[in-house]
Amino acid sequence: MFGSLGFTELILILVIVMIIFGAGKLPQLGEGLGKAIKGFKKSVHEADAIEAEAQAAAQQQQATAPPPQAVSPDPAQTVAANQTAPAQPASRS
């Protein structure tokens, strides 16, 4: 993250922050930043846990779901197939 920043750049940033906020506010600033990072990590961890629970519930639901039933054919086609064809007259030779 700080690969391109050297030691001198970090010291310069610290000096500028001390000038803006003052030495008395630095502990409060650090505490607030620490709480923010901690809260962010906690929310990410909770989101991962919720996602894992949702996946487990989906897998359990798939395991307990009844097998899909076969689709019944069209009733009109069933009636037409069950009707007998009229008798054809015997051919005269």
Tell me the pLDDT of the chain (93 aa) as tens digits: 556 888 899 899 888 988 888 888 888 888 998 999 999 999 998 988 888 888 888 888 887 866 666 555 566 555 555 555 555 666 665
Which pLDDT score is estimated for 68?
62
Q: What is the pLDDT of residue 34?
A: 93
List the chain domain ranges.
25-61
Q: DSSP label at 6?
A: -
Q: Say what the pLDDT of residue 62 is.
A: 82
Contact 33, 25 (CB under 8 A): no
What pTM did the predictor assign? 0.44
